[in-house]
Amino acid sequence: MPRFTNETERVLRASGWLPGRQVDTSSWRERTELGGFRWNAAADRFLEEFGGLAVDISGSGINSAREPFDLDPTLVDGEDHRFAQWAEIVGESITPVGELDSGRYFLGMSASGNLYLVADWLALFGQIPEALESLIRGRSPVPVEEA
């Protein structure tokens, strides 16, 4: 069974992704940790494959607009307090992995591999590959209720 739908694979490939892609994440890790973020292994694995991609999409999606996103954790500089606050609520670290909608929202990956939309509120896209399917095909994340 294919990992991604044809549409998602086409968009990822157009953004520079190829199966087996490997990116060195050490500079991102150093910079984000210096900025006060916690780095986790799930985010590292995700960024090794998808880090550095700028996905330029728009238009209507399944149940929300399709918005561009950049998978670069340094775009989240200065937001360590926000990530720490949500990490405490979900009970595990959330590492920044990029931004959504030209910086309107941030993207973070939990230690268990969940991809989150991080803002003044938190919403769950799920695990990879479903989370990337949702982002690319315009499926809304599920809001996380504060405990």
| pLDDT 10s digits, 74-131 | 999 999 999 999 999 999 999 999 999 999 999 999 999 999 999 999 999 999 999 9
Cα separation, 73 vs 52, in Å, equals 9
Q: For a pLDDT cut of 70, what percent of the chain falls above it?
A: 98
pLDDT above 60: residue 146: no
Give the gyration radius of the chain's Cα atoms: 14
pTM, full prediction: 0.95
Strand segments (E) across the chain? 54-55, 69-70, 94-100, 105-110, 114-118, 122-127, 142-143
Nearest to 133 by CA among 2, 5, 1: 5
Task: Name the token pair of 99.
Answer: 């931004």
The per-residue pLDDT for 145 is: 80
DSSP state of 65: B
Calculate ∠ Cα 3-7-28, nearest 5°: 65
Look over the chain and give the mean of its residue pLDDT values, rounded to a whole number: 95
- β-bridge mates for residue 126, sequence order: 115
Residues 9-33 have a mean pLDDT of 96
Read off the pLDDT band of 1 (50, 70, 90): low
**Cβ neighbours for 60, distance < 8 A, ≥ 6 positions apart:** 66, 138
Could you give the residue ranges of the DSSP H alpha helices within 53-122? 80-90
pLDDT of residue 88: 93
At residue 68, does pLDDT exceed 60?
yes
